[in-house]
């Protein structure tokens, strides 16, 4: 796996999708009215930042009047410097009060500040509320599209894909996209308006000082920009590393039996920690880049304030003015910082969005034709005509295979492991399309039917047993979602599963672990059979359906399947003689070809391959 030479490996480049951020924003635009509200409240909150500065200055003037500001001591004119007529004319005269009661007026004036902040907080809250609402909608849609697209991919896709990556994309990366998508919009509204309104207030108060301050400001941005550029990729790498971590976790938990059987806990731990450390390294780089900006900017700002003090002394600025101007600059800083960090966040978001959209855009290699028809009842022959198939190019698995399965008959597929038996069933269920040749059902190519209607006609007991983390009842009902409890129990009875289910303390309500770990292999197989029985489809595929059963229960299940199979087309991949002897025709497979077919008595006589299998496998139980 090369996990030990990972350090030396060249980092894979992150290829971003074109226009990925615009596409993300297009997920937000359907919610125009809410977005409008969010923008309106965001703007109001932003504007209040500037307005606050005007009020602040006058509060200072009233509370701490400097020389030449005697006027201020008699009137509170919160928007004196604001060049908007009606606001400017607001002037509250100081009531005539006894000196010991003057503090009441001062308190009232001071209270305008918390009042304004409260108002700004309210607007901010409403802004956030609407953005969150949109965020939820976007996240839901992204997850839905991502999951739906993944689950519609054919089996071939899942053979290659890493489950951990798929889960990471659907759960985590969609979240990152939605957050970033809405936060970007929010940030692009709030911060510039806050900055502009505060700037406006500053210029109205003392344009020269403000101008001076803002020649220094770019100096603050410069080092930040330089550093940010250098480590821009770190944010994106973090996404990729956490994906890898997810894969390791998923594999460790999924393959826990293998891990334990080989006592590889500490090996898995090493792998996990290697990934974990790498992830944290990248996170560290990213955070370092983000965090270095704060002390840098602060240092430059302190120089600015020192120079400003000299200017204030020279121009005999009032304390209220000087204090307000500097507070305004400081109030602007978080907004400027947020804006300057935006592109780091956008970079990260672009990586996550690229992943998510790649999943959403993936066209399944097997899909229904636009004019696909519904298969009503599979009552005609199932036919393979000159079918060629390979999982990997260059290694053909089936060579020019032709077979006909008549309706209502029983077939047994035999052959050594790897001869292509399971592959035939997979092709007939259209898990894969053949490379050349045709598969026909009721005289039509199965590609002409919808996949769902084709598979509706087939009951399948797979070689790989799987059960959901759910009750036994729900697991059987998966075969027929609308079956009643009685029908479920009837199916379990036919599969001889009721014998062990009744012994379980919770009976049909017993929860199965992921992959059905809490019951034995033979019991799991009986549940799979019950599920197929409940499905009651006219065609039945049994892929070594009885391999995990002991001889005793096999006889019972055999008997159940016989009842079930009456009038159905059955193709059974069999390891046991009993299954084979019951079939109308035995098909002997060898290296992806049909070696011979016929009834048992003939094949033992004339087919050496069958004879070999019979001697090795079947005869033992006979
Ligand atoms: N998902 C897959 N990807 C690549 N090769 C596969 C895959 N599944 C099966 N094969 C190969 O195809 C051949 C036939 O497999 P299969 O149909 O499962 O055989 P059988 O069921 O007769 O044991 C084997 O050589 C196997 O290695
Ligand atoms: Mg097989």
- Tens of pLDDT, residues 314-351: 888 888 888 888 888 778 878 887 887 787 778 778 88
What DSSP designation does 101 have?
G
- Ligand 1: atom nearest CA of 463 is 21
What's the CA gap between 82 and 200, in Å, rounded? 9
Q: 426 CB under 6 A from ligand 1? A: no
Looking at residue 405, its pLDDT comes to 94
pTM across the whole model: 0.79
> Could you tell me the distance, in angstroms and rounded to a whole number, from the CA of residue 464 to the centre of ligand 2?
9
- Ligand 1: atom nearest CA of 156 is 1
Minimum CA distance residue for ligand 1 atom 9: 423
User: For 595-617, what is each residue's pLDDT tens digit?
Assistant: 898 988 888 889 888 888 888 87
Residue 398's SS3 state is strand
Looking at residue 107, its pLDDT comes to 87
For the chain, percent of residues with pLDDT exceeding 90: 27
- Ligand 1: atom nearest CA of 155 is 1
Q: Which residues surround ligand 2, an ion (CB under 5 A)?
A: 422
Under the banding of pLDDT at 50, 70 and 90, the label for residue 235 is: low
Looking at residue 487, its pLDDT comes to 93
> Could you tell me the distance, in angstroms and rounded to a whole number, from the CA of residue 465 to the centre of ligand 1?
17
Under the banding of pLDDT at 50, 70 and 90, the label for residue 384 is: very high
Ligand 1 mutation target, pool 423, 429, 592, most atoms within 8 A of CB: 423
Tell me the mean pLDDT in the region 211-226.
70
Minimum CA distance residue for ligand 1 atom 24: 418
- Cβ atoms within 10 A of the Cβ of 585, count? 18
Query: Quick one: tokens of 142?
Result: 């992204």
Most confident of 62-71, 107-116, 290-299: 107-116
Taking 70 as the threshold, does the pLDDT of residue 385 lie above it? yes
Looking at residue 50, its pLDDT comes to 82
Look at 462 and 620; give whichever has higher pLDDT: 462
Q: 397 CB under 6 A from ligand 1? A: yes
What's the CA gap between 582 and 603, in Å, rounded? 14
Under the banding of pLDDT at 50, 70 and 90, the label for residue 62 is: confident
What's the CA gap between 192 and 45, in Å, rounded? 12
Q: 395 CB under 6 A from ligand 1? A: no
CA distances from 130 to 175, 185, 279 (A): 17, 12, 33
CB 170 within 8 A of CB 147: yes
> Could you tell me the distance, in angstroms and rounded to a whole number, from the CA of residue 437 to the centre of ligand 1?
19
Taking 70 as the threshold, does the pLDDT of residue 2 lie above it? no
> Could you tell me the distance, in angstroms and rounded to a whole number, from the CA of residue 258 to the centre of ligand 1?
21
Judge whether 3-30+133-361 and 382-621 match in fold: no
What's the CA gap between 40 and 207, in Å, rounded? 29
Under the banding of pLDDT at 50, 70 and 90, the label for residue 34 is: very high
The dihedral built from the CA positions of residue 127, 133, 136 and 138, taken in this order, carries a sign that is negative
What's the CA gap between 179 and 186, in Å, rounded? 10
The bound ligand whose nearest atom lies closest to the alpha carbon of 423 is: 1
Mean pLDDT check: name the lowest of 34-38, 222-226, 588-592: 222-226
Domain 3-30+133-361 has CATH 1.20.1560.10: yes
Residue ranges of the domains in the chain?
3-30+133-361, 382-621
Q: 155 CB under 6 A from ligand 1? A: no
Ligand 1 mutation target, pool 160, 418, 574, most atoms within 8 A of CB: 418
Residue 197 sits at φ, ψ, to 5 deg, of -70, -35
Tell me what the pLDDT averaged over the chain comes to: 84
580: part of which helix (H) or strand (E)? Answer: helix 577-581
Cα pseudo-dihedral 512, 513, 518, 521, rounded to 10: 90
Taking 60 as the threshold, does the pLDDT of residue 563 lie above it? yes
Domain 382-621 has CATH 3.40.50.300: yes
């Amino acid at each position: 796996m090369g996990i030990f030479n990972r350090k030396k490996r060249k980092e894979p480049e992150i290829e971003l999708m074109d226009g990925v951020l615009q596409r993300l924003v297009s997920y937000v635009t359907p919610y125009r009215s809410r977005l409008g509200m969010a923008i309106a409240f965001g703007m109001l909150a932003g504007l209040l930042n500037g307005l606050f500065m005007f009020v602040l200055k006058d509060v200072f003037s009233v509370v701490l009047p400097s020389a030449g500001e005697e006027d201020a001591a008699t009137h509170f004119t919160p928007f004196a410097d604001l060049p908007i007529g009606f606001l400017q004319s607001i002037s509250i005269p100081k009531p005539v009060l006894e000196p010991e009661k003057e503090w009441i007026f001062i308190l009232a004036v001071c209270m305008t500040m918390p009042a304004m902040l409260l108002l700004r907080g309210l607007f901010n809250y409403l802004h956030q509320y609407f953005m969150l609402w949109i965020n939820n909608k976007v996240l839901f849609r992204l997850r839905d599209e991502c999951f739906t697209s993944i689950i519609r991919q054919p089996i071939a896709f899942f053979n290659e894909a890493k489950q951990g990556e798929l889960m990471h994309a659907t759960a985590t990366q969609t979240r990152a996209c939605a957050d970033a998508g809405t936060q970007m919009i929010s940030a692009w509204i709030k911060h510039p308006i806050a900055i502009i309104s505060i700037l406006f207030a500053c210029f109205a108060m003392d344009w020269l000082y403000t101008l001076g301050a803002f020649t220094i400001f770019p100096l603050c941005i410069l080092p930040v920009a330089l550093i940010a550029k250098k480590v821009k990729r770190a944010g994106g790498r973090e996404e990729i590393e956490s994906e890898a971590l997810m894969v390791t976790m998923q594999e460790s938990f999924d393959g826990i039996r293998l891990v334990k059987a080989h006592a590889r806990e500490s090996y898995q731990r090493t792998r996990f920690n290697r990934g974990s450390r790498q992830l944290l390294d990248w996170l560290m780089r990213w955070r370092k880049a983000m965090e270095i900006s704060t002390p840098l900017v602060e240092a430059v700002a302190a120089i600015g304030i020192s120079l400003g003090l000299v200017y204030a002394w020279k121009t005999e600025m009032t304390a209220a003015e000087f204090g307000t101007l500097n507070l305004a600059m400081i109030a602007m800083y978080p907004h400027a910082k947020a804006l300057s960090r935006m592109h780091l966040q956008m970079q990260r978001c672009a990586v996550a969005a690229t992943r998510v959209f790649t999943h959403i855009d993936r066209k399944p290699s097997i899909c229904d034709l636009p004019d696909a028809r519904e298969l009503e009842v599979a009552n005609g022959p199932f036919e393979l005509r000159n079918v060629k198939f390979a999982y990997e190019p260059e290694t053909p698995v089936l060579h020019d295979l032709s077979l006909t399965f008549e309706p209502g008959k029983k077939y047994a597929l035999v052959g050594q492991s790897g001869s292509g038996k399971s592959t035939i069933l997979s092709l007939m269920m259209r898990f894969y399309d053949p490379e050349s040749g045709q598969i026909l059902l009721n005289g039509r190519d199965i590609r002409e039917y919808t996949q769902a209607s084709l598979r509706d006609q087939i009951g399948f007991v797979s070689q790989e047993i799987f059960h959901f983390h759910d009750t036994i009842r729900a697991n059987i009902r998966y075969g027929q979602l609308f079956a009643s409890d009685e029908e479920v129990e009837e199916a379990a009875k036919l599969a001889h599963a009721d014998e062990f289910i009744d012994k379980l303390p919770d009976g049909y309500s017993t929860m199965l672990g992921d992959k059905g770990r809490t019951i034995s292999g033979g019991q799991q197989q009986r549940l799979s059979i019950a599920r197929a029985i409940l499905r009651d489809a006219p065609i039945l595929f049994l892929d070594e359906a009885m391999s995990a059963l002991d001889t005793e229960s096999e006889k019972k299940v055999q008997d159940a399947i016989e009842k079930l199979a009456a009038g159905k087309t059955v193709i059974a991949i069999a390891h046991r003689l009993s299954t084979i002897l019951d079939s109308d025709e035995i098909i002997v497979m060898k290296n992806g070809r049909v070696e011979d077919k016929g009834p048992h008595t003939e094949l033992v006589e004339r087919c050496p391959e069958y004879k070999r299998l019979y001697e090795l496998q079947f005869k033992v139980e006979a």
